[in-house]
């Protein structure tokens, strides 16, 4: 194993060193005794699957989460007291660039660059001329041709990312007298939405930054990118360090093995054998968003999983099929009827027996500020029209019955949905959409933020729907979940299907392997 002895990297003090960092969320260990050392001038990768603890670690450094007692943090050899206060990282010479970049699209590049200093240094007069010159100098230094007066919204995605990075570096440098080092820049998954050429440009910028002596922590789930840009990389798995590798001595398989882990134990709740039922659902030439010319078919009663790395387009499929997001082209054939996807709307989809359970539970699936009854009866409210209008008592009774069927706790239909736990809210959402026996049921991350018990309940509801003849499509990054409920899994990369797993191949390990290797070639 290519573990690196950090002490041997030179007499120089590490830019950042973490020892024995743990974090427990409600009994679950998100981080377990994690060590991380980043040297000055190093690009250090931080790899792992969703839920491996990457973001928890980052959030501890950002001062969002307080770690458990006993952890030690040193920055340029100086001990720093944990937990960090929110925003304290600035004084320590740390800067973060998150995936959403934190730029205001309608303001100019210059205004975005300087927003932080405008917020913190009171000034009676801003010399725009001098500010523009300063910005131009910075861009020149990094060999970027960006006009500071352009609104950020008009930049290419990669230029936006670079503006955010340059801003973070400038922040570190402006505070250098205070923390005394070159600083550590933390790039939190900056690449998923960038085209390949953009990623190369971004990496050039990263190399220029470390050439100045600053360090970069590059958070990613993409092994290829980590292989290309990092000097060393630490892999997290289930909250523990699964190894720190020197990149040039490590192969892709070394990384993948540590990311996934060899030993995987999973309990199969539901694993159906494929039936000989007719191919009832077919998608042809679906294009829209990231998705490019995707074809697939499925049978009624089948549960099909869609997965891939973030940004690979799989999660857009349910919304495109439903008409929640306009597709550019493509066709859905359901029970012999052809539906043009460019013209479909949510209303039409519902008429055709298609339902969507979006990932955004309280923003897209149901209204938290309304009672359970109102939420759950919404798709079927016409059934309650009597001679005197809606029969409110019957609606309550119906909501109560659905609550019993889906094990909603507490089953009090007059309660506001907000008052339920995430898992029980999701049961209500699932009940809302499955009650009409849809022909096609589309789900996006159906168990996000859902506890284990409620999760099983959701799986059972989906299994019951498929037994009753629904075709179920489930987009998810939870490989274990896909293994448990899916008959087949399609793996996406760059908007296309790159592999199809079925039967015995549908295992957490195989799915993960195909996702991480999907970028080959």
Partner 1 sequence: MSENDKTVEYESRIAALEDRLQELEGERRRIGLRPKSSGDRLSGKKTLKREGEKYALIVGWALLIIMFGLLAPRSASWANFSSMFSSQGPLIVLTMGLIIPLTTGDLDLSLVSTTILAGMSAGLLATDFQWPLLFAMLAALGIGVIAGTVNAFFVLYFRIHSLIVTLGTAAFMTGVTLWVSGGMTIVVFSSTLADWVIKFKIFKISPVFFYGLIVAGIIWYVFEYTTWGRQMLFVGRGREVARLSGIRVDRVRAMSFIACGFVSGLAGILFLGRAGAMDAMSLNILLLPAYAAAFLGATAIIPGRFNPWGSVLAVLFLETGIRGFQFMGAGTYVQNLFYGGGLVIAVALSQLVRNRERQEFS
Binding residues for partner 1 (CB under 8 A): 267-268, 322, 324, 345-347, 349-351, 356, 358, 360, 362-367, 369-371, 374, 378-379, 381-382, 385, 388-390, 392, 410, 412-416, 418-419
C-alpha to C-alpha distance for 108 and 106, rounded to whole angstroms: 7
Residue 380, Cβ density class (10 Å: 0-12 exposed, 13-18 middle, ≥19 buried): middle
Shortest spacing between CB 369 and partner 1, in angstroms? 6
Collect all residues with Cβ–Cβ distance below 8 Å to 411 and sequence separation of at least 6.
400, 403, 404
- At CA 243, angle to CA 237 and CA 247, rounded to 5? 120
Shortest spacing between CB 360 and partner 1, in angstroms? 8
Distances (CA, A) of 248 to 232, 251, 254, 355, 361: 8, 8, 11, 48, 43
C-alpha to C-alpha distance for 439 and 421, rounded to whole angstroms: 29
Shortest spacing between CB 319 and partner 1, in angstroms? 9
256 versus 416: smaller Cβ distance to partner 1: 416
CA dihedral sign of residues 443, 444, 445, 449: negative
104 versus 414: smaller Cβ distance to partner 1: 414
106 versus 127: smaller Cβ distance to partner 1: 106
10 versus 369: smaller Cβ distance to partner 1: 369
CA dihedral sign of residues 176, 182, 188, 189: positive
Q: How does 495-518 read in b/e, with b if 16+ C-beta sit within 10 Å?
A: bbbbbebeeeebbbbbbbbbbbbb
**Nearest C-alpha neighbor of 41 from the set 183, 153, 188, 222:** 183
Shortest spacing between CB 339 and partner 1, in angstroms? 15
180 versus 369: smaller Cβ distance to partner 1: 369
* Cis amide linkage into residue 368, ω under 30° from 0: no
Shortest spacing between CB 273 and partner 1, in angstroms? 13
Shortest spacing between CB 145 and partner 1, in angstroms? 34
**Nearest C-alpha neighbor of 165 from the set 131, 190, 197, 137:** 190
Shortest spacing between CB 45 and partner 1, in angstroms? 35
217 versus 463: smaller Cβ distance to partner 1: 463
262 versus 382: smaller Cβ distance to partner 1: 382
Shortest spacing between CB 378 and partner 1, in angstroms? 6
C-alpha to C-alpha distance for 515 and 509, rounded to whole angstroms: 10
150 versus 383: smaller Cβ distance to partner 1: 383
DSSP H stretches of helix in 212-263: 223-229, 252-260
């Amino acid at each position: 194993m290519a573990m690196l002895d950090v002490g041997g990297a030179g007499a120089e003090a590490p830019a950042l060193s973490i020892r024995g960092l743990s974090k427990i969320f409600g009994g679950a260990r998100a981080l377990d005794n994690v060590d991380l050392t980043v040297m000055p001038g190093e690009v250090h990768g931080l790899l792992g699957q969703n839920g491996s603890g990457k973001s928890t670690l980052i959030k501890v450094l950002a001062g969002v989460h307080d770690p458990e007692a006993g952890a030690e943090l040193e920055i340029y050899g100086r001990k720093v007291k944990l937990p960090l206060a929110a925003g304290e990282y600035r004084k320590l010479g740390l800067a973060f660039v998150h995936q959403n970049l934190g730029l205001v699209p309608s303001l100019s590049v210059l205004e975005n660059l300087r927003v932080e200093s405008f917020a913190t240094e009171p000034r009676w007069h801003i010399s725009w001329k001098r500010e523009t010159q300063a910005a131009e100098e910075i861009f020149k230094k990094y060999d970027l041709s960006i006009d500071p007066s352009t609104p950020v919204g008009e930049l290419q995605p990669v230029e936006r990312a670079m503006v955010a990075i340059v801003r973070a570096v400038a922040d570190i440098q402006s505070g250098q007298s205070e923390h005394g080092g070159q600083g550590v820049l933390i790039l939190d998954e900056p690449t998923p939405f960038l085209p390949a050429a953009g990623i190369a440009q971004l990496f050039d910028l990263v190399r220029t930054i470390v050439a100045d002596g600053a360090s970069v922590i590059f958070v990613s789930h993409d092994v290829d990118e980590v292989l290309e840009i990092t000097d060393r990389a630490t892999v997290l798995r289930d909250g523990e360090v699964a190894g720190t590798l020197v990149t040039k001595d490590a192969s892709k398989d070394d990384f993948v093995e540590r990311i996934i882990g060899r030993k995987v134990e999973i309990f199969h709740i539901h694993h159906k054998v494929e039936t000989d039922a007719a191919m009832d659902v077919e998608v042809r030439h679906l294009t829209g968003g990231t998705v490019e010319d995707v074809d697939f078919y499925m049978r009624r009663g089948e549960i099909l999983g869609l997965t891939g790395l973030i940004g690979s387009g799989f999660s857009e499929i349910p919304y495109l099929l439903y008409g929640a997001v306009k597709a550019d082209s493509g066709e859905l054939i359901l029970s012999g009827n052809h539906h043009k996807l460019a013209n479909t709307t949510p209303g039409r989809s519902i008429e055709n027996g298609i339902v969507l359970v979006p990932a955004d539970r309280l923003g897209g699936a149901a209204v938290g500020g309304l009672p359970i009854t109102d939420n759950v009866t919404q798709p079927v409210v016409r059934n309650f029209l009597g001679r005197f209008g809606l029969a409110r008592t019957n609606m309550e009774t119906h909501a109560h019955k659905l609550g019993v069927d889906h094990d909603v706790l507490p089953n009090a239909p007059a309660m506001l949905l907000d008052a339920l736990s995430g898992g029980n809210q999701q049961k209500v959402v699932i009940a809302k959409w499955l009650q009409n026996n849809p022909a096609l049921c589309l789900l996006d991350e159906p168990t996000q933020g859902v506890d284990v018990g409620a999760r099983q309940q959701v799986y059972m509801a989906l299994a019951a729907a498929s037994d009753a003849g629904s075709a179920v499509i489930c987009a998810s990054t939870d490989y274990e979940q896909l293994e448990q409920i899916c008959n087949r899994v399609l793996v996406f990369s760059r908007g296309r299907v790159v592999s199809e797993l079925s039967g015995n191949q549908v295992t957490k390990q195989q799915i993960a392997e195909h996702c991480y290797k999907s970028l080959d070639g």
